[in-house]
Amino acid sequence: MTRRVALVTGSARGIGRAILERLAVDHDCVVHGRRDVDAAQEVARIAGAAGARTLVVTADLADPDQVADLADQALARFGRVDTLVANAASTVFRPLAGLAARHSRTTFATVVDSLVELVHRTAPVMRPGGRLLTIGGLDARFAQAGHGLLGGAKAALEALTRSWAVELGPQGVTANTIVPGPVRTDSLEIYLDGREDVRRLLVDHTPVGRLCTPADIADVAAFLVSPAGGMISGQVITVDGGISAQGGPWGAMRELW
Ligand SMILES: NC(=O)c1ccc[n+]([C@@H]2O[C@H](COP(=O)([O-])OP(=O)(O)OC[C@H]3O[C@@H](n4cnc5c(N)ncnc54)[C@H](OP(=O)(O)O)[C@@H]3O)[C@@H](O)[C@H]2O)c1
C-alpha cells in the first residue's frame, strides 16, 4: 500500500506526538513543534524507525507567515497532505474580565486562523481518502472558570470542521473533531500545578475510573483516518472516559480552586 502523508501540528509532545507516532505505521510524517527542535527530531527518529519518511518543521502558529511556511514546506517535500491533524493549541487561562483583545487575537490566531490557512493550502491537493482531524475541548461545551477564551476558539474549530465535512465530502475527504477529556500530558500537569485534590476530583468524576492517556486519543484518531473510518464525517467524537456524561466536575472544581 502507498504511504499517505500526515501533518500533525504540535506533534513534538503530548497528544500530537502520540497521534503522529501511531500514524507513522502507514504515513510519511511532518513533525511540527513551536521551538523544541530536539523533541521534534526525537519524534521524527521514532517515526522513521516505523518506516516513515519525515520532515521536521518548527513554526509558531500564532504567526501567519510561519503557518504558510509550514504548509509550503510539507507540500514541497511530499507533494500533498492526505491526513491533516490540527492538534496544537495554547491560550491564557484567566477570567474573561482579565482578558484583553490581544489575548483573544493570539489564541484565535493559534487555534482558528492557523487551521483555516492549513486547510486552504492542503485541501485542494487532498485525494479521495483524505482526512481532516481537529482536536477540540470540553470547554467548548461546558462553562469552566478561566477557560472561556479557549472554549470560544474550540467552538469555532468544531463549527469549521463540520462545514469542511460538507464541503470536502464530494472530494472523498472526511472531517471530524475529537474532543478529549482531561489527558495526562505536560499541559495538564502545568494546569494542575500539584493540586492532587483536583486530580482526584477529575478521576472520581470519570466513570471508567482513570484519566485519558495520549494513547487513548491516538487510538481513536488512527481509526478515524483509517479506511474503516471513511463513513464518519462532520462528527464530534468525545473521548473522555464518560466524564462529560453527567455534566462533568466543573461546578465542583470551582469550589476547590
Ligand atoms: N491535555 C488535556 O487534558 C487536553 C484536554 C482536552 C483537549 N486538549 C487539546 O489537545 C491538544 C494537545 O494538548 P496537549 O495536552 O497534548 O498539549 P501539550 O502537551 O501542551 O502540547 C501542545 C503542543 O502544541 C504546540 N503548540 C502550542 N502552541 C503553539 C503555537 N503557538 N505554535 C506552534 N505550536 C504550538 C506545543 O509546542 P511547544 O511544546 O513547542 O510549545 C506542543 O507541541 C490541544 O489542542 C489541547 O487543547 C488537551
User: Domain coordinates of the chain in residue numbers?
Assistant: 4-256
Query: Closest ligand 1 atom, CA of 12?
Result: 43
Output the CA 182–ligand 1 centroid distance in Å.
12
Instruction: For ligand 1, atom 26, name the residue with the nearest CA.
Output: 88
Residue 57, Cα to own-chain centre: how many angstroms?
A: 17
- In order of 3, 132, 171, 216, the CA distances from 229 in angstroms are 17, 12, 16, 16
Residues 6+ apart with CB under 8 A from 144: 138, 151, 250, 253
List ligand 1's pocket residues with C-beta within 6 A.
10, 12-16, 33-36, 60-62, 87-90, 110, 135, 137, 180, 182-183, 185-188
What's the CATH fold of domain 4-256? Rossmann fold (3.40.50)
What's the burial of 204, exposed, middle or buried (CB within 10 Å: 0-12/13-18/19+)? exposed
Chunk the chain into consecutive blocks of 10 residues (it has 257) and report each block's average pLDDT, rounded to whole numbers: 93 98 98 96 98 98 98 98 98 92 98 98 97 97 92 98 98 98 94 93 96 98 98 98 89 75
- In order of 49, 144, 205, 216, 223, the CA distances from 247 in angstroms are 42, 11, 9, 21, 27
71 neighbors 82 (Cβ within 8 angstroms): no
Instruction: For ligand 1, atom 25, name the residue with the nearest CA.
Output: 10
47 neighbors 29 (Cβ within 8 angstroms): yes
> How much is the pTM?
0.97
Q: What is the pLDDT, as a whole number, of residue 248?
A: 82
